[in-house]
Every structure is written in structure tokens, then in C-alpha cells.
A and B are shown apart, each in its own frame.
Chain A
Amino acid sequence: MSAVENGIGASVTRKEDQRFITGNGNYLDDINKAGQAYGHFLRSPYAHAKIKNIDLTAARAAPGVIDIFVGADMAADEVGGLICGWGISSKDGSPHVAPPHPCLAMGSVKHVGDQVAFVVAESVQEAKDAAELIEVDYEELPSVTDVRKAGVAGAAQVHDEAPGNQCYDWEIGDKEAVDAAFANAHHVTKMDLINNRLAPNPMEPRAALGEYDRGTGEYTLYTTSQNPHVARLILSAFVNIAPEHKLRVIAPDVGGGFGSKIFVYAEETTTIWASKKVGRPIKWTADRSEAFMTDAHGRDHATHAEMAFDADGHILGFRVATKANMGAYLSTFASAVPTYLYATLLNGQYKMPCIYAEVQALFTNTTPVDAYRGAGRPEATYVVERMMERAARDMNMDPTDLRMKNFIAPDAYPYETPVIMTYDSGDYPQTLNLAKNMISYDGFQARKAESASRGKLRGIGSAAYIEACGIAPSAAVGSLGAGVGLWESAEVRFNPTGSVTVFTGSHSHGQGHETTFAQLIADKLGVPFDNVEVVHGDTTKVPFGMGTYGSRSLAVGGSAIVKAADKIVEKAKKIAAHLMEASADDIEHAHGVFSVAGTDKQLTIGEIAFAAYVPHNYPEDLEPGLAENAFYDPLNFTFPAGTHIAEVEIDPATGVVEVVDWAAADDFGNVINPMIVEGQVHGGVAQGIGQALLEGVVYDDDSGQLLTGSYMDYCMPRADDLPNFKVEATNTPCPSNPLGVKGCGEAGAIAAPAALMNAITDALGKEIDMPATPEKVWRAAQSA
């Protein structure tokens, strides 16, 4: 429990809730500007086509139309296309292939929903009406959507620049060592696994509002972004919208992201550019259909994996070959997801002597694929943990026993894996045992028998996941191809009356930073929680920032705040020493109270702040004011880990799977707000259950049409699809950051799919791929 009220470790209710529960949130579409026009995109109805001609005559004459733009207009203005910010090299050393990614089509369209033209009108209605009058002469071309078919000879070519549709063919690990390990294996388990494509579906659709000020030459872009400074950097340095000091990017209240709002998309780019062209603010708001067609999708891997064991069940080596679908273009961080965020986690929680992984990334005529909650790590956990469960079944062992036998020992840290990660802390046996206790693992056979008496199939399955998050040390990611650094910045600014404003480069879109970060200040500096305001999401207010993704906000952004707070304490000590006529060395500090050692003299941080801003009696060599900036670059990733166990009951007559119990035992290191952390686990598990049971983007194999383009066909988890979750935590503090925290936002989505599929396949006694739809399960149950 925290030493101060609402400090570290307290389940404080959230500051931000007041505005959300009363309808006073400020989401993008809630913002309107005087003289605002509305933008609408004409999109490709085809998966792949050549554009022979675009005739705008009738559309331009339609009522309310202000202007209409096509790709050539942006090119004429030297506005560039979109970029991928992470370079991956193939086995042969060649760089990945990144074909042009224009905001508006330049002669061809590559997926259903690709932008063809941008209509700006007085109303959305008029913009849509006019878009229907645009005559586009398409020549439809053959398409390919399935990643397993994209690299096959004769497959439709998405880009001339990428022969065989290959983006890269990458490897990691030691092939020779793995080959040798397999040669000596007592047992080899092999699996082919599909990691289904997901649509991220934050409930707030993406939107943008662009405005250009002719007086100052400044652009202001309101955008649904998880990282407004990164968006500014890309729009400025690579897309050529405006220099950074003339471009303000604001991400107001954002209604969920899950990765999909990290990226810089064509829509906000076109909107901000066009706002200057038409001389009026322009608002564009996606509808859900557009979200399905254009929000970067997640996952979409096809993997073959082989694991070698000795006679005692110890892992000897692991061999993985994955085909990763990039979609039609390389999205902002797409190339990193199936490589450094995926294959580097194939070691799982285990002592694996050697690993060799190959990843071939391929273009298809589909929506681009990029990071989605977990990003690479759910795919890795899915491969490792489906393999472990399967291997245990093959070797007639309890799957949890096989895991226990292979776990890295709690005293083995730091632990270097064969795939470049150095795990810094953990206790995997502890979380596994906790999860087993939580779900009464030992009582499963009795429950299975009871289900059987009612004609139901019961199954149990585990996933012992690990993730690398708190992404991450700039030097490390730079050496792996990242185009940016991954530090975070913060400013802690005392106001003269003692309240505090915290500026953070992290961005909250549901995570509750305004609360958690205020708790840090309350704890470190003794300022009442209610007197702390957290500001984020505006490049003009916040010094700089790298944003929120990869479960990094607390580990990296929170640590920056702590660093700034430490600087405040250092300065406050000098002021306190002066005011109390003591040596700075004799000043002791705890939670905002500064005292002279061995005396009863003390001052509060509020009194010191006042003195700093009204420096009538003040150290001569010290600047007035009490505000400090800090940048924090972590020493390592953090490595949250744990075990989730799922229990299911299947109705063999219909194939319906009911998730009857869920135990999540997670080690997130130190926890600032347990209520918020549990909420993050709930949400992550729900998305993981969604992936395993309900969700999946489907394209028509022949036409390339998106068949799951709305909630009529893409199955979102509803309240009645899910159970209550049992969530508990263990704690091995992270040694790599001052808070000892590890990151919790993605864990559920990483652990859940493998745990649930292990439970379902346990019940069925045979393998099926995700999503485990009723028909698939029914068919398996029939032939079981």
C-alpha cells in the first residue's frame, strides 16, 4: 500500500472518467471549426486495378463541392507518399522492398478501399453525392489476398518493384546448431499454424481535422493518433507537409487505438494538405466500413514450426518458418512486427539451446497489416505455446509439467536467449503455479467427467507467455533498423501555488495516464492527487514525445516523469537548505516534505515552490522557478510474463464453445494502480478470446473483396460471449527502470489465443485453426 494518499499502489478511481461518463469527452468528431468543410474519399471497389482515367467533370459541378483532388494534385505539390519507418534486411543483405504508397492513387489501386480521390464539400452528404458522380475507368487486374499463395509462381503481382511479392526474406538464430539439435532429437513435434487476420476496431473511428492559418503559415492537424509527435515528424520530414515548427498536431481524447492509431495514414495526410489548398478547415471522419477497409489490420501469419526434445522432455532446438502478410503497402512500422517483435520472442519462457527462424514478408491485395495489440508477440506466443501443449500431448505429459521442466530458473537472470533478447527478471514457475491454483487445475478431471455426463466436451489449456515491451532502448532498436529513437520525455511543472502540471509524450486513449501519472507525482512529491494535472496529446504543449504503444507508457513515459521529479527534488533541496539555513547535504526528503536531518525543521514542496516563484529570499546561484524536463531512454525492454489458463465447454451438437473459466496470473513488476492494471488484462484477454473464437478478416479468394466489412460479418466480442476473468499478479520488479514496472497493456491479447486454442483442442482431441467458429468446432467434434 502506498505511503501517501492516492500514491503508488493505490486503486485510485480515474480522473478522466468524470468527463467520459457525463458526455463531456472531447473526441475528434466532437471538434468543429468556423468555416469548416467536409472531406470524403472515393475508394477503390476493386482489389487490384489499373486506373485508366478519372473524370471529375460531373462531380465538380455537383452542389456544395468546393474542390476535388486526385493523386496527381498531391504529386504536383511535391507531397510525398507514406513511409515505413523500420528497415529490415533480407538474408542476402538486401534492404526490404518498400514500393510507393501514395495517399491518393497514382494510376493503380492495390486493395479494396484504396483512396482514389478526395472530395471537399460543404457537407458530408454533398461530398458523398459528388463522389458518386466521379467517373473512374478501371481495368481490373488479377489479385492475391492469401499469404500462402502470394509467393507462389504465377501469383498476381501486387507491385512491379517486388518480384514474387516479396518484401523481405529474413532470418534470425543459428541454423546449423538447430539442424544438429534435431539430428540428435528423441522426439520432434511439428505443427502448421495460422494466425488469423484481425481488424483492430477501436470504437472511435479514425478522423482528422486539418486547418491552415494564412497569417502565420501554421498548420494544425487534429488527428486520432497514439503518438502526435511521431505523426508530426513523419508528416514533416518525410511527407513534406510543413516544417515541424509550422505543424501542430493534436490528438485529443482518442477512443481506443490498440496499435491502429500509431500509424500515419493517407486520410489525415490528405486532409491537412488539402486544408491549405481550399483555404478552409476540413474534417474527415471515417465510418466503420472505411475502418474495416483502411485501419491497418493485425496478425495474418502462416507458420510451420518444429521443436526437438530429448528423452526427458527438455527442449533441444526450435525451428520456425513464417510467411507474414504485409497487405498492399508497407504501413508505418509493418516491417518490424513479424521480425524483431516476433521472432525475438520465440524463446518463450524456456531454456532453448538454439533457435532458427525465417520470416518471409509478402505483399497482397489487402489492407496493410501493422502492429495490433501485442504486435508480433501474440504470434510468437501462439507458436511457442501451441507447440508446447502439443508436444506434451505427443509425449504423454501434462503440459504444465513440460513447461515447468523447461522454464528458465528464477535465479538465472539476466538470461540471454538465442534470439538476441536479455530477459532481466521473472519467476515463471510462480505464475504457472498461481494460475493452476486459481483455476483449480487439479480438479479438472472431475469437471470434465461432469460435463461429459451432460454430453459436453470440456477442455483446459495453458499459455505461459512472455513479451518484450516498454519499447525500448534507442540504441538497440536503432541497430535493428528503427528509423527513430524510442525514449520518452516529460516535464513536471510546479505552479507558484503548489499545484503541478505534468506534460508527457505518452498518449492516453483509454489507459488512464491522467490518473496513473498523477499518482506518481502524488507519491514522489507529496502533491495532493487532485492538484496534479496531466497534459498530453498536443505537440505545442508537450515538449516532445514518442507516444503510446508496445506497453511502454509507464515503463518509459512514467520513468521520464520520475526523472523529472527527481530533478525537482534536487533543486528543491537546495532551496530548502537556503530557507532553513542548513547544508543541502543535510536535507532529507520524503513524499514532498524536506527536513533538516536531526532537527524538527521542515518545509513542504508547496512552500518551496512558492519561494521558487517569489524568490525574495532565495539562493543567489539558483535560477528561479520550479519546473524540470527529462528525457528517459530505457536500458532494456521490460519482460512481463505469466500464465493464463482457459477452461472451455463445447457443445458437440452445435460446435458452440463456452469459455467457462479464465485464470490470468501475470508478473508486471511493480504496479502503480491495480484497478487499472486489472482492467488492461480484462481488455487484452477479451481481444485474445475474440481472435481465437470470433474474429477474422476474410477476403474472397477470387475477387479479393472484403467479406467481413461490417459488424454484420466481423464478429466483435459482446458481453455475452465472455466470462468473468480471474486476474492475479505476482511481482518480480523490473531492474531496468526506476519504477520497477513492466507494462501490462498487451499481456492479455498475447496470452489468450494460445491458452484458449489449447483448451479447445484439448476438448476436441484434435487440431483446428483460429477462429474456432461453431462450424469448425462441430466438424472437428464429429470426426473426433
Chain B
Amino acid sequence: MYSFEYERPSGIDAAAAAHGEDDKFLAGGMSFLPTLKLRLAQVDKLVDLGGIDELKGITVTGDTVTIGAMTTHGTVAASEDVKKAIPALAAMAANIGDAQVRNRGTIGGSIANADPAACYPSSLVALGATVHTNKRSISADDFFVDLFETALEEGELVTKVSFPIPEKAAYAKFPNPASRFAMVGVFVAKISGGARVAVTGAGSSVFRQSEMEAALSSNFSSDAIANIKTPADDLNSDIHASADYRAHLITVMAQRAVDAAS
């Protein structure tokens, strides 16, 4: 690791104030610290969000689950409130990374990093979540822009994410056998007036599969999407899976998610 300064503010405003050019916020660090270790990134200062209590915690109101940015995957996975309100979200969190990663990794860190193979982005997009920052609220559809790129501005800080509670939802992940990140992950949600389908791992960023959404909106069953193929042109291709195979897996995973949705 290259050298850097370190600061651990205890409030959101202090954190924002501490963040200068070429600085980085540090959430769980599960992606960024390995990047630093391999000397693939260099920062002047890390602003550690771990000391900010107001960024942690889960609240469930009538139709919304709100998760603080520094809430760990393990906390979400174990939350009885989340399991009751959006079981798919808890189940998804329970399969991110591994147990140790779930004990440190956070929702805010995951979505701000916007790894194309991360699980969380698909849940935000499929559930139509809203990302709250210290400056504004951004819809999930607008939040994820491209490979490791979000709508966040320099120094802007995710504070929490609010998820509308769907009628039912599920996430099906086909993990990369080596890294265990999503090679293809599909999050489906049945919401009032329709369905949403978000795909992670397959493209440069999470994306919605609108043809499947249309089909599921009129008939929320796996048969309805059995013959819907995702064009492979823009999908990822690597030593683990070709674009064709990923395209195929999108349909299979989407079907399995629909079947599992509760």
C-alpha cells in the first residue's frame, strides 16, 4: 500500500468536510482495501466512515425499508425486520462475499463502488430504491452509471438507501466459481402495477431487462420469460464465461428468481 493520511470523523458533516481532492471515503473497505494493497490505487487521505453511528441501522416503516449506508451485509442478512419485509434482500445479503466480508462490508460501500459484479446494485434497481446522500436523493435507476461509476459527485456521501417493499421478490445468483462475485445475478420484484428485473455481473453495470419486465408485468411466472433472450452484444466475456453463456444464464437465473419469489 502507498502511504496515505487517515481521518475518522464522527459525523456526516465532518466527514464531508474532511474529504478533499484525491481523498476517498472508506466504508467497509472490502473492495477498496484490496485495491490499495495491490497498489492499484493511491489516495491522499482515507476518510473512515466507521465512526459515524448515524450511518448505521435499519428502520422499517409501513411501505419502506431504510438501511443506513454503514450497515453491514451481515446485519441486513440477520435482521428479522428485513427478513419479514423484504426476505429477498436479507437472503441476497446472506450470500454476498463470505462470512468475514459480510461482517465488514456495507451497503453504502458496495453501491458507491459500483462493481459490475456486486450483488447489491441489482436489488436497488429491481426494487426501485432511492439512494440518499448528504446532498440529495437519487433514484437507483439514475445512480448506477457505468463500470465503477455512479452519479455521486466528488465528496458526496451515501447516507442511506430506502427500499419500497415489493409484493414479492427474489434474487438468483450464479457465482463466479473463483471470486464468488456474481457472474450473473438477477433480482426480480413484483411491485404494484408491474415487475422489475435487474441484472448484475453480466454487463459493465447493473441493467434492467425490460422485455422480461413487460412479460412479468402481465404474467409473473417463470414460463412467461422462458423464451426471452438477452442480446449478448454488450455483455461481459472473460475466461469464466462468454457473453453468450451469460446471456443464457440471465434467463435461467431470472426464471429461478421468479419461481423463488415470495
Contact = CB atoms under 8 A, between A and B. Distances in A.
- Tell me if chains A and B make direct contact, with any CB pair below 8 A: yes
Contacts of B56: none
B154 to A, nearest CB: 27
Contacts of B241: 774-775
Interface stretch (A109-117, A387-395, A622-630, A712-720): A712-720
B197 interface: no
Nearest to B98: A718
B248 interface: yes
Contact of A711 (B39, B178, B252): B178
A698 B248 contact: no
Contact of A713 (B38, B178, B252): B178
Nearest to B181: A712
B239 A778 contact: no
Given A654-B174, A715-B178, A716-B178, A708 B239 contact: yes
Contacts of B240: 713, 773, 775
B174 A289 contact: no
A141 interface: no
A128 interface: yes
A712 B178 contact: yes
Contact of B245 (A132, A713, A778): A778
23 contacts: A125-B1, A132-B39, A289-B38, A654-B249, A694-B178, A698-B239, A708-B178, A711-B178, A712-B178, A712-B179, A713-B178, A713-B179, A713-B239, A721-B177, A773-B177, A774-B174, A774-B177, A774-B241, A774-B245, A775-B242, A775-B245, A778-B248, A779-B245
Interface in B224-262: 239-242, 245, 248-249, 252
Contacts of B248: 778
Contacts of B245: 774-775, 778-779
Interface of A: 125, 128-129, 132, 289, 653-654, 694, 698, 707-708, 711-716, 721, 773-775, 778-779
A713 B245 CA distance: 17
Nearest to B251: A653
Interface of A is mostly: loop
A128 B242 CA distance: 36
Interface string B21-39: 0000000000000000011
A712 B97 CA distance: 12
B115 to A, nearest CB: 11
A715 B174 contact: no
Contacts of B2: 129
Closest 9 CB pairs of A and B: A715-B178, A712-B179, A775-B245, A715-B177, A653-B252, A698-B239, A713-B178, A775-B241, A707-B239
Interface of B: 1-2, 38-39, 174, 177-179, 239-242, 245, 248-249, 252
Nearest to A775: B245
B16 to A, nearest CB: 31
A694 B239 contact: no
Interface of B is mostly: loop
A125 B2 CA distance: 8
Nearest to B241: A775
A116 B55 CA distance: 48
Nearest to B39: A128
Given A694-B177, A698-B239, 5 more contacts: A654-B249, A708-B239, A712-B179, A713-B239, A775-B245
A125 B4 CA distance: 13
Contacts of A773: 177, 240
Contacts of A708: 178, 239
B162 to A, nearest CB: 32
A714 B178 contact: yes
A654 B239 contact: no
A580 B239 CA distance: 76
Contacts of A712: 178-179
Contacts of B242: 775
A128 B241 CA distance: 34
A713 B183 CA distance: 12
Contacts of B178: 694, 708, 711-716
Nearest to A132: B39
A517 to B, nearest CB: 37
Contacts of A714: 178
Nearest to B179: A712
Nearest to A779: B245
Nearest to A651: B252
A177 B81 CA distance: 76
B222 to A, nearest CB: 11
A711 B179 CA distance: 6
Contacts of A129: 2
A715 B175 CA distance: 12
Which of B1, B39, B174, B248 has the most chain A CB atoms closer than 10 A to its own CB? B248
A714 B240 CA distance: 10
B43 to A, nearest CB: 16
Which of A132, A289, A711, A775 has the most chain B CB atoms closer than 10 A to its own CB? A775
Nearest to B183: A774
Which of A128, A132, A715 has the most chain B CB atoms closer than 10 A to its own CB? A715
Contacts of A774: 174, 177, 241, 245
Nearest to A713: B178
A770 to B, nearest CB: 14
Contacts of B179: 711-713
A29 B174 CA distance: 37
Contacts of A711: 178-179
A694 B248 CA distance: 21
A413 B173 CA distance: 54
Contacts of A707: 239
Which of B177, B239, B248 has the most chain A CB atoms closer than 10 A to its own CB? B177
A739 B182 CA distance: 52
Contacts of A715: 177-178
A132 B39 CA distance: 11
A289 B39 CA distance: 12
A713 B177 CA distance: 8
A259 to B, nearest CB: 22
Contacts of A713: 178-179, 239-240
A576 B249 CA distance: 78
A128 B37 CA distance: 12
A716 B180 CA distance: 11
Nearest to A693: B177
Contacts of A778: 245, 248
A289 B241 CA distance: 23
A94 to B, nearest CB: 38
Contacts of B177: 694, 715, 721, 773-774
Nearest to A654: B252
Nearest to A776: B245
A185 to B, nearest CB: 40
A689 to B, nearest CB: 12
Contacts of A128: 39
Nearest to B3: A125
A386 B220 CA distance: 46
A716 B249 CA distance: 23
Contacts of B249: 654
Nearest to A129: B2
A775 B246 CA distance: 9
Nearest to A721: B177
A607 B32 CA distance: 66
A774 B175 CA distance: 11
A708 B176 CA distance: 13
B203 to A, nearest CB: 17
B118 to A, nearest CB: 14
B253 to A, nearest CB: 8
Nearest to B38: A289
A775 B239 CA distance: 10
Nearest to A712: B179
B161 to A, nearest CB: 26
Nearest to B252: A653
A429 B1 CA distance: 58
Contacts of A289: 38
A292 to B, nearest CB: 12
A780 to B, nearest CB: 12
B101 to A, nearest CB: 13
A76 B240 CA distance: 46
